[in-house]
Amino acid sequence: MQSRKVRPLLVLSVVLAALLVVATALAIYFGLRKDASSAGFQTVAPSESVEGAYWQAAVTTNGRPCAPIGADILRRGGSAVEAAVAALFCEGVTCPQSMGIGGGFVMTIYSRAAGGAVTLNARETAPAAATYDMYHGNATLMQTGGLAAAVPGELKGLWEAAQRYKSNNVTWSDLVMPAVRICEEGFPVTAYLARAIRNSEASIRRNPTLADILVNMDGSLLQEGDIMKRPQLAQTLRIIAEEGVDAFYNGDLGRRFVKDVQDLQGIITMDDLSNYTVKWERPVTSQLSDGHTLYTVQLPGSGPLLAFIINILDSWIPTASLAATWQRIVEAFKFAYGRRTELGDPDFVDIDQLIKNLTSRDYAAGIRKSIFDDRTFQDPGYYGSVLSQPENHGTAHISVLAPNGDAVAVTSTVNLLFGAKVRSRSTGIIINDEMDDFSAPNITSAYGVPPSPNNFIAAGKRPLSSMCPAIVVDPAGHVRLVTGAAGGTKITTATALAIITNLWFNTTVKESVDARRLHHQLFPMSVQYEEGFDANVIRSLQSFGHVMEPYEVGSSFVSTIAVNRSAPYQQIFANSDFRRLGVVAGF
């Protein structure tokens, strides 16, 4: 009799406990939104992008099929790195405007068990025959055709990452074959890819090797919704799935690729391919005042600049004044891009002291003394700059969080849209134009500023990049944020804003990614802001002396995974930028 009375009480207790969990989760979620508003963060109408909510794992990508492919690898017990590799192979097929196996990447990897991170630099290198003045002042040759190509590092990087972080639950072929099937069966052209094709129409029609895959049989450009197939690339990827990447760096695939590049006036040789090596490195690390730790990539990526921005602003924003908050952010950007003009490949230039400064909290504190809440300066020299660096353009970013707490942030590129605007017909590989990321003598910037010798071309050198994939962990070593961006020179500021808004403005991940962005790269001397940015802030910045320059929404693209451990259970939220119509997947 007593057990019958107890049973309803137990049921009632379970129901009340469940309601308490739900109420707590809702309170946290809406509390974050309230905090974001009170911090003065300007939320905008939600975009059409999906904010994925998961319990164990998440993947964010640009290509529509790619996030599910990465998530499937995780479900099968694959590592975070294996999931990222599978997603990158897919992205290389579905995002030909931005990346592929003809390019290179930088990757930040966090191991929960080890409690630390490493980075992988698979950035392209200048061919052995390259010289600092090889373009003789002709900027076009740095951007178009075979001579614009640097030695691809993507495949070697994917292979070494997958081998070092092998789970033994999936095979190398499992990571490559989904991309093969997409090549063969085709995939729908997205609105973003269709826009990239339209914007590159003149170059596509001038170069039959690219027109082969981007122009329909009737002569029209591929449109949104058209099915794009890549049969030659499918054959190449199938060989790589069966034989590994040695087929490219030391085999027949590589010989065919080299011949195609040389037929397009390039200087890459088989020796360049066989001598290519990736670099495993310790990350740039920044300890934040609240106990969080930022991990990102070394030079020639822009991890040191990202850490510099975050160190300047750490515990200094938000302020009571929204205008002052954004003034401090913009000025931090300006000081970072002032230092960028001194950077280059540390294997070739002595910049050890500069890197120590950029990653020093004391140095950042000193910079704050030169930032004022009510005025700015138009002299680039005030911010430490007398030289220019070239802008970079393409790229795609992937974020991965695995059930065991490991994470990967990786950014890959072929540089400009569709790289050098040429394709290896025998392999289907779109050729990069990474040589354009170097500075070159006698090629002055559009703003009349001379080029930086620290980023001049040298054989085997890697060019400077804005890429800075980042992972933030909490004081207990749990992943808090996995983020990064695409969008050329705006990559570093977009990634910084993703961290700033998530950690300090307490936004939801979707609010953070949807939010309109500001950017300043010192040249030009203006604040570039996305249309729809807070008009009051724009007016305030103008009154401080900034030149304000609006630009259309869609020049930078953020991909973020955020983890909320404040609830009684872990909650994972993921969002890929609506500006590129990216996707998320998880479980």
Cβ atoms of residues 302 and 492 within 8 Å: yes
Tokens of 35: 């905090």
Cβ atoms of residues 584 and 52 within 8 Å: yes
Q: How far is CA 230 from CA 4, 158, 452, in A?
A: 67, 20, 39
Residue 544 phi, psi dihedral angles, 5° rounding: -80, -5
Which residue, 489, 487, 441, is CA-closest to 465?
Answer: 489
The one-digit pLDDT tens for each residue of the chain (587 residues) are 444 444 444 444 444 444 444 444 444 444 434 344 444 566 788 999 999 999 999 999 999 999 999 999 999 999 999 999 999 999 999 999 999 999 999 999 999 999 999 999 999 999 999 999 999 999 999 999 999 999 999 999 999 999 999 999 999 999 999 999 999 999 999 999 999 999 999 999 999 999 999 999 999 999 999 999 999 999 999 999 999 999 999 999 999 999 999 999 999 999 999 999 999 999 999 999 999 999 999 999 999 999 999 999 999 999 999 999 999 999 999 999 999 988 999 999 999 999 999 999 999 999 999 999 999 999 999 999 867 666 656 689 999 999 999 999 999 999 999 999 999 999 999 999 999 999 988 876 544 556 889 999 999 999 999 999 999 999 999 999 999 999 989 999 999 999 999 999 989 999 999 999 999 999 899 999 999 999 999 999 999 999 999 998 988 999 999 999 887 788 999 999 999 989 999 99
Compute the distance between CA of residue 134 and CA of residue 147 in angstroms, rounded to an integer.
Answer: 9
DSSP 453: G
Tokens of 441: 């003598």
Strands (DSSP E) contained in 203-331 are 227-228, 279-281, 284-287, 293-296
**21 part of a folded domain:** no
* pTM as predicted: 0.92
Binding-site residue numbers for L-glutamate are 123, 413-415, 437, 465-466, 488
Cβ atoms of residues 294 and 309 within 8 Å: no
Contacts by 214-221 with C-beta closer than 8 Å and gap 24+? Answer: 214/418, 221/194, 221/197
Which residue, 242, 235, 256, is CA-closest to 184?
Answer: 235
* Pairing status of strand 518-519 against strand 227-228: unpaired
Instruction: Supply angle C-alpha 224, 421, 186, rounded to 5.
Output: 40
Compute the distance between CA of residue 500 and CA of residue 485 in angstroms, rounded to an integer.
Answer: 14
Compute the distance between CA of residue 437 and CA of residue 98 in angstroms, rounded to an integer.
Answer: 15
**246 part of a folded domain:** yes
**190 part of a folded domain:** yes
395 is catalytic: yes
- Helix (H), strand (E), coil (C) string for 94-163: HCCCCCCCCCEEEEEEEECCCCEEEEEEECCECCCCCCCCCCCCCHHHHCCCHHHCCECCHHHHHHHHHH
Instruction: Provide the number of structural domains found in the chain.
Output: 1
**257 part of a folded domain:** yes
* Pairing status of strand 279-281 against strand 116-122: antiparallel
**439 part of a folded domain:** yes
Total residue count of the chain as it appears in this document: 587
Q: How far is CA 438 from CA 286, 298, 373, 383, 443, in A?
A: 28, 17, 35, 22, 11
Binding-site residue numbers are 123, 413-415, 437, 465-466, 488
What is the CB-side half-sphere exposure of residue 509 using CA atoms within 13 A?
28
Cβ atoms of residues 484 and 468 within 8 Å: yes
pLDDT for 6 equals: 42
DSSP 573: E
Q: Which residues contact 440 (CB under 8 A, 6 or more apart)?
A: 132, 133, 135, 137, 139, 142, 451, 456, 457
pLDDT for 219 equals: 96
**35 part of a folded domain:** no
| Residue carrying structure tokens 């690390």 | 285
DSSP 189: P
**59 part of a folded domain:** no
The domain containing residue 226 runs over which residues? 67-115+123-278+418-455
Q: For residue 473, what are the β-bridge partners? A: 293, 479
Q: Which of 236, 376, 395, 508 is catalytic?
A: 395
| Residue carrying structure tokens 């973003």 | 192
**441 part of a folded domain:** yes
